């Protein structure tokens, strides 16, 4: 819809952000619901997080998506933090609550929503209760996913990472988490109901695999990488007849949660997913 004097503004901040799909995702959603909103990408370098929040106040920006390298800065600078942001120390979404700017982290819950939708055709995480899950990686995305899986009731969460102390830190976010040394990873994968690749291994141009292929037997396999749509891990899992969940769902659902926090409207998830599909090779 045409911009007006009453158009409400949301944005993604970080560096780099010009490549971001978020403007296409959110503007498609605003148009689908006939909302007088617009979403833009605003490059903000490291060290500029507090200034970005000040600008949000000054210009009346309604919502922010936050990407690297600002997630920690914004988490420290918002007026209030969600429990997830308190726990993780990282914020990827800022929403208004009256005059207060509230930091949220939608990555983990976005992953859980996507996994449940694609693996169990469910809108709720009840199918994850008691599940044994192996998570590869201990970075920011992995930590958010581990926290959300634990809150969803996972029975156990094994964390596999090249650096054991980082795995131990990530595993500590779950009441039922355990860091697994690389030399014991095969046993962890074999015991898992669900394997999650929460690293960038397999991203466009990378033919690597985050695990030995021969550990794939009867697990659900999820990969947070969304470009390419079929990573080497997903291809290997599907070639063995396994259910494989790609990274587009997490991208869409973390955005949908942010959309709902900003607008109070139910996000048009199908429209948002189509916007991603139309802009990926």
End-to-end C-alpha distance for the chain, whole angstroms: 27
CA pair distance 46, 69, nearest whole angstrom: 6
Q: How far is CA 259 from CA 17, 132, 250, in A?
A: 18, 31, 14
Sorted by sequence, the CB contacts under 8 Å of residue 253 that are 6+ apart come out as: 106, 109, 110, 111, 113, 114, 117, 269
CA–CA separation, 150 and 140 (whole Å)? 16
Token pair for residue 140? 């920011």
Half-sphere exposure for 13 (CA within 13 Å, toward CB): 27
In 48-131, where do the E strands start and end? 63-66, 80-81, 93-97, 100-104
Known catalytic residue at 87? no
Tell me which of 14, 29, 64, 71 is the catalytic residue: 71
DSSP strand pairing (63-66 vs 93-97): antiparallel
Catalytic residues: 71
């Amino acid at each position: 819809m045409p911009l007006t004097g009453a158009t409400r503004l949301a944005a993604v901040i970080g560096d780099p952000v010009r490549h971001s799909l978020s403007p296409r995702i959110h503007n498609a959603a605003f148009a689908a619901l006939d909302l007088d909103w617009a979403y833009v990408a605003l490059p903000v370098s490291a060290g500029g997080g507090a200034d970005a929040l000040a600008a949000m106040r000054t210009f009346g920006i309604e919502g922010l998506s936050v990407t690297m390298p600002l997630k920690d800065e914004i988490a420290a600078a918002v007026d209030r933090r969600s429990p997830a942001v308190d726990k993780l120390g990282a914020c990827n979404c800022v929403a208004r609550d009256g005059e207060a700017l509230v930091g949220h982290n939608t990555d983990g819950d976005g992953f859980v929503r996507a996994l449940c939708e694609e693996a169990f055709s469910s809108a709720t995480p009840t199918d994850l209760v008691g599940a044994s899950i192996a998570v590869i990686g201990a970075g920011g995305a992995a930590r958010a996913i581990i926290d959300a899986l634990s809150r969803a009731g996972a029975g156990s969460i094994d964390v596999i990472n090249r650096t054991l102390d980082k795995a131990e830190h990530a595993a500590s976010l779950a009441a039922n988490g355990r860091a697994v040394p690389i030399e014991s990873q095969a046993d962890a994968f074999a015991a898992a109901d669900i394997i999650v690749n929460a690293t960038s291994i397999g991203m466009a141009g990378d033919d690597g695999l985050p695990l030995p292929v021969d550990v794939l037997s009867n697990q659900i396999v999820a990969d947070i990488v969304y470009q390419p749509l079929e990573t080497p891990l997903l291809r290997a899992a599907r070639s063995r007849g396994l259910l494989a969940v790609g990274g587009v769902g997490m991208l869409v659902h973390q955005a949908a949660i942010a959309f709902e926090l900003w607008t109070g409207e139910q996000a048009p998830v199908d429209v948002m997913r189509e916007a991603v599909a139309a802009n990926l090779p």
